[in-house]
């Protein structure tokens, strides 16, 4: 299913999703493994493209840092609610903190009553994972819909075996826009690579800006190109080698 991905301009900026893109999905979020070649190619891209490489993820900032260490990159965490720029400065959206806390309190008993569900509390969002209980998908969807009905400042973001609840107006596309207003991303052609529904906002923004969008694996998408993780890293190493 791997397509021939195009050559990359020297004045490009790379934006990567984390789960399902940089790392393979795992039964639990804490069980993912970062293969050595992931750090190797990220480090090489950052050198070759003057630091214009960032991770845009739903994960918490410290968690991604822990997985990628010692590589340290600009990161938009929790879909952009928390963003660390290339200078190390943090940009934090403080909105709807009470709504996020209320939603977590409402969903916690539901997760406790259904073994195998994981309720992940982040700083600015929460995620209800049902990868270990896929038969509960419809039940989980109803539960998060009920919670959002009581907390209208939040929206539901469905993903692969997960429902995330996050503040309105925060998404990966807006995170990419914010990076592109700053050095070293400013003036560069954006490239976004992701695998999930949550990445479609970024694909839309990148496409509108004349950039390159790459979808990992199957599923409907706005992305211009499609590949798998093996094909992705083969392409990235070719990009680095040509530099």
Catalytic center residues: 17
C-beta separation of 59 from 77 below 8 A: yes
Label the pairing between strands 162-167 and 189-194. Answer: unpaired
Label the pairing between strands 82-84 and 75-77. Answer: antiparallel
The H-or-E segment that residue 54 falls in is strand 53-56
Residue 162, helix vs strand vs coil: strand
Residue 87, helix vs strand vs coil: coil
Query: d(Cα 75, Cα 215) in Å, to the nearest integer?
Result: 20
**H-state helical runs in 90-218:** 97-113, 137-150, 172-180, 200-208
Number of other CB atoms surrounding residue 190 within 10 Å: 24
Structure tokens at 156: 């539901």
C-beta separation of 126 from 104 below 8 A: yes
Q: How far apart are the first and last CA of the chain?
A: 26
C-beta separation of 100 from 120 below 8 A: no
Please name the residue that has the structure tokens 């790379």: 14
Structure tokens at 171: 């998404």
């Amino acid at each position: 299913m791997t397509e021939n991905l195009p050559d990359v301009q020297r004045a490009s900026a790379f934006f990567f999703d984390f789960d399902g893109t940089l790392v393979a999905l795992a039964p639990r979020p804490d069980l993912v493994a970062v293969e050595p070649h992931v750090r190797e190619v990220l480090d090489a891209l950052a050198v070759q493209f003057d630091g214009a490489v960032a991770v845009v993820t739903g994960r918490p900032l410290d968690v991604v840092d822990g997985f990628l260490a010692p590589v340290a990159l600009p990161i938009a965490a929790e879909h952009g609610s928390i963003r660390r720029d290339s200078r190390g400065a943090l940009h934090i959206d403080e909105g709807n903190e009470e709504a996020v806390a209320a939603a977590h309190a409402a969903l916690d008993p539901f997760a406790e009553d259904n073994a195998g569900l994981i309720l992940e509390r982040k700083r600015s969002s929460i995620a209800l994972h049902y990868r270990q209980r896929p038969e509960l998908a419809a039940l989980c969807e109803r539960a998060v819909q009920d919670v959002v009905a009581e907390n209208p400042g939040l929206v539901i973001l469905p993903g692969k075996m997960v429902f995330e609840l996050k503040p309105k107006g925060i998404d990966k596309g807006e995170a990419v826009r914010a990076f592109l207003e700053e050095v070293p991303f400013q003036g560069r052609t954006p490239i976004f690579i992701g695998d999930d529904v949550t990445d479609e906002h970024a694909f839309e923004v990148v496409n509108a800006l004349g950039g390159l969008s790459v979808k990992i694996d199957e599923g409907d998408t706005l992305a211009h190109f499609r590949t798998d993780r093996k094909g992705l890293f083969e392409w990235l190493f070719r990009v680095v080698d040509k530099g």
